[in-house]
Amino acid sequence: MANAQATHDPAAAGHAVPWDGDEAALAAESRRRNKRLLLILAAIGIGMFVFAFANVPIFGLVCEKLGFAQDPGKGSAAALASEEGEIGRPIEVRFTGNVWGQLPVEFRPVTSIQKTNLGKMTVADYVFINLSRNPVYFRPIHSIRPTEAAGEDKYELGECFCYTEMMMHPGQELVLPVVYRFHNGLDENIKAVTMSYTLFPITKEEYERKKAEEAAQEEQGS
């Protein structure tokens, strides 16, 4: 009498069952899931930053953690140059320009890398071009890397377009300066610094409201 042969069931034994389908289809599905996850994470990140941008105290905390220098005090470039003290060691300063979302503006530094010295007032120019047939409204925000160079006691600006609500006419082109210097107290291990500027779109209403507030403040001060 023939003995019955025992069958082996991988699933019953707790082992994974090999998939007999198309491996290419499985890989494509995996890529789709990963892409969907990245989009979700990106949306969450954008939402958190926009929420913080709309809430000044929270925005301040976000800026501090991300290395965004918050509305740095701007003095007269001539006054700062006249106060120029001891010129320190060489340092490399790199510049980048970014545009948030679909803002139709070409934005870039004229020179992406400058060689300067600590304590020396230096000028860097940025180009703005409105590529659309409509007025555009935005606010430039700047950040400094590494974050150890972003403190108020580490650098100062004599002139800057940052943290200013701006409007550009259709096709308009601008060249605006950033006048800056890093102080001699900067950590000696920091040999290079990146100053990055990002244009965030605002509405026409936001722009007009801010300009009205500035005009009212000037009238009160006069």
| Residue 165 CB partners (closer than 8 Å, separation 6+) | 137, 138, 139, 202, 206, 207, 210, 211
Query: In angstroms, rounded to a whole number, what is the distance separating the alpha carbons of residues 183 and 87?
Result: 9
CA angle 168, 174, 180 (to 5 degrees): 115
The pLDDT of residue 151 is 85
19 burial via Cβ count (<10 Å: 0-12, 13-18, 19+): exposed
The pLDDT of residue 49 is 45
The pLDDT of residue 134 is 97
Best CA proximity match to 103, nearest among 173, 186, 203: 203
Q: 80: helix, coil or strand?
A: helix
* C-alpha distances in Å from residue 93, one per residue of 10, 135, 214, 221: 62, 32, 32, 37
> pLDDT tens string for the chain (222 positions)?
444 444 444 444 444 334 444 555 555 555 565 555 555 544 544 554 444 444 434 344 444 444 444 444 444 444 454 455 689 999 999 999 999 999 999 999 999 999 999 999 999 999 999 999 999 999 999 999 999 999 888 999 999 999 899 999 999 999 999 999 999 999 999 999 999 999 999 999 999 999 999 999 888 876
The pLDDT of residue 145 is 95
Cis amide linkage into residue 10, ω under 30° from 0: no
- 200's enclosing H/E stretch is strand 192-201
The pLDDT of residue 28 is 57
* C-alpha distances in Å from residue 154, one per residue of 59, 84, 131, 141, 147: 21, 14, 36, 18, 10
pTM: 0.66
The pLDDT of residue 1 is 47
The pLDDT of residue 15 is 41
